[in-house]
Amino acid sequence: MLLAKSRYCGLFLVFMGWQQAVATEKPAADQESQLHATAHPAADSARPSYPAKPFVYPNGARNAVSLTFDDGLASQVQFAVPMLEKYQVKATFYVLPFHVSQQVKAWREAAQAGQEIGNHTNAHTCTGNFHWLRKSNQGLEQVDLDFIRSDIERSQQYIQRTLGVTPKQFAFPCGNTFVGRGRQTQSYVPLVADMFETARTWNDETGNDPRYADFAQLTGLRMDGLSFNELRELLENERETDKWLVLAGHEVGSRGVMTTDLKALEQLIQYLQDPKNGYWLAPVGEVSSYIKQQRADN
C-alpha cells in the first residue's frame, strides 16, 4: 500500500515538473500550440513501446553470450583452451604479460588457433586498497592517465611481439575505470575508447543492451565459483531481454571464489551450443562487430 502510494506521488511529481517546465518557458501563442502538438505526452501514444522490436542475432538466437577470461593464467591454457577447442568455441582472453611469459608457447598456439587475445594492462593497476599495489605506488589513486596509457601500450607491444597478434579488446583490471582520488579523480574510459574496439568491466549486475551498451564499458558477469545450474540461472535472469551477456572468469579447474569450474564450463558450452536454447556463443570482437553493423544498418 505504502509502495503504491509513493509510486503515485513520484508520478505526480514528474507530471508537475513537466507542467512547470512548459509554464516557465512561456512560448508565443503560435509556438505554444506547436510545442504542445509535439511535446504533450498524449502525442507520444503512437510511439512503439520499448524495446521497439527484438534485436536480431545470427541464426535467430535470442541472446548473445561471450566467454572471457582475465589475467592470462596458466590454468586457462592448460584446461580452458583444450575444452574450447574440443567444442570449436572461441573465447576472449585478456592477458597480462607476466603470466604469458610463463607459458609463451601455449599462448602463442592459442592465439594462432584463433582464440581472441585482449589487453589487460601490464601492471594490473587497480585500487590501492590492495596493499600489494599500494606498496609499489601503483594503486589507481596514486597514478595518472600518462601512467595508465604507457602501461597499456607496454602490454600491447609485448603481446604483438610475443604472440603475433594485436589486441583490439581491453578489460579493466578489477573493473576499475578511474585514476586519482576525490575531486582530482579522472576516468580512463576515454583513453581506452581511443585505443580499443571494446572494453569490459567486471562484477556487474546486468548484461549489455545491444541497442544501447557503450562498447567502452561493456558489463562483465562473474563466472567464477558457479555451478552449471547457477550459470544457467544467471543466463535465465536475462532471458526476457535480448541482451549480450559477457561472462568473466579467472583460474579454471575445481570451483572456487576466483576459479571457473571446468566441468560446469563444459556443460555450459554444450548448453549454449544446443540450438533449441537460442544462444549465439562468440568471442567479444565478433559479437561487438556484429552489433555495430546492426546499429549502422538500422
Residue 279's DSSP bridge partners are 63
Q: Please choose, out of 50-58, 166-174, 176-184, 254-262, the segment that lies near Zn ion by the rule CB under 5 A.
A: 166-174
Q: Please choose, out of 21-29, 69-77, 231-239, 259-267, the segment that lies near Zn ion by the rule CB under 5 A.
A: 69-77
Q: How far is the CB of 118 from Zn ion (least distance, A)?
A: 11
3-state secondary structure of 137: coil
Q: Please choose, out of 4-12, 65-73, 203-211, 282-290, the segment that lies near Zn ion by the rule CB under 5 A.
A: 65-73
Nearest to 121 by CA among 98, 101, 92, 90: 98
Q: How far is the CB of 296 from Zn ion (least distance, A)?
A: 32
Q: How far is the CB of 287 from Zn ion (least distance, A)?
A: 21
State the binding string over 173-192 for Zn ion (x if CB under 5 A, else -): x-------------------
Shorter beta-carbon distance to Zn ion: residue 71 or 242: 71
Alpha-carbon distance of 276 to 31, in angstroms, equals 55
Nearest to 78 by CA among 44, 114, 55, 105: 105
Alpha-carbon distance of 103 to 163, in angstroms, equals 11
Please give the residue whose beta carbon sits closest to Zn ion in the complex: 70
What φ, ψ does residue 26 adopt, rounded to 5°?
Answer: 40, 65
Q: How far is the CB of 141 from Zn ion (least distance, A)?
A: 18
Binding Zn ion by CB under 5 A: which of 65, 69, 71, 89?
Answer: 71
Other residues' Cβ atoms within 10 Å of the Cβ of residue 130? 16
Length of the chain: 298
97 binds Zn ion (CB under 5 A): no
Angle subtended at Cα 164 by Cα 161 and Cα 166, rounded to the nearest 5 degrees? 90
Which residues of this protein are in contact with Zn ion, per CB under 5 A? 70-71, 173
